[in-house]
Amino acid sequence: MTREEAIRQIILDYCESNNILITQFAKRCNISKSYISKINLKQFGKLGISMTYLELIAKGLNMSMVDLQILIEKYQNCNHQNKEETKKELILCEINDKLRNFNVEDLEIVHSIISNVNHKDLNILHSFLKNMR
């Protein structure tokens, strides 16, 4: 899988897991709908996807450029065989990005909640969050 194909698949997986259209993702990234369509249709051109657009895509995915680069490499290496694993990667990157903004006290609260929650409670919370979107 090429770098551009990996980026395309990351975007498609993100849209699927967040139940949004690719055009909504384009708006979120501040990228034109036509450019996102070109990515979706694998019309990257000879030079591929520029770093400027990659930064906008990373911002739309709620992750840093470093996290996006790591995710791209994972997609390239695994050829997207395990879709559940890649969805987990996207979710973890989003969580990781949001946790960076927390102070120590907030992180301690999050840690205490996570350590005291069982599998059933996590499923309920996940369903609740999914229905909020």
pLDDT in tens, 30-64: 999 888 888 888 887 777 888 899 999 999 988 88
pLDDT at 126 > cutoff 60: yes
Task: Judge contact between 27 and 21, C-beta under 8 A.
Answer: no
Q: What percent of the chain has pLDDT over 90?
A: 13
- Residue 29 or residue 91, greater confidence: 29
Task: Give pLDDT, residue 55.
Answer: 93
User: Which residue matches tokens 């791209």?
Assistant: 72
Task: Judge contact between 98 and 62, C-beta under 8 A.
Answer: yes
Helices 51-60, 65-78: axis angle to 10 degrees equals 100
Mean pLDDT within 107-112: 81
Task: Give pLDDT, residue 105.
Answer: 86
Nearest to 28 by CA among 54, 57, 53: 57
Task: With cut-offs at 50, 70 and 90, classify the pLDDT of residue 24.
Answer: very high
Give the span between the Cα atoms of 55 and 45, in whole angstroms.
Answer: 18
Give the span between the Cα atoms of 67 and 30, in whole angstroms.
Answer: 19
Model-wide pTM > 0.75? no
Task: Give pLDDT, residue 104.
Answer: 85
Mean pLDDT within 61-89: 78
What separation in angstroms does the CA of 64 have from each of 9, 53, 119, 128, 132?
18, 13, 29, 27, 25
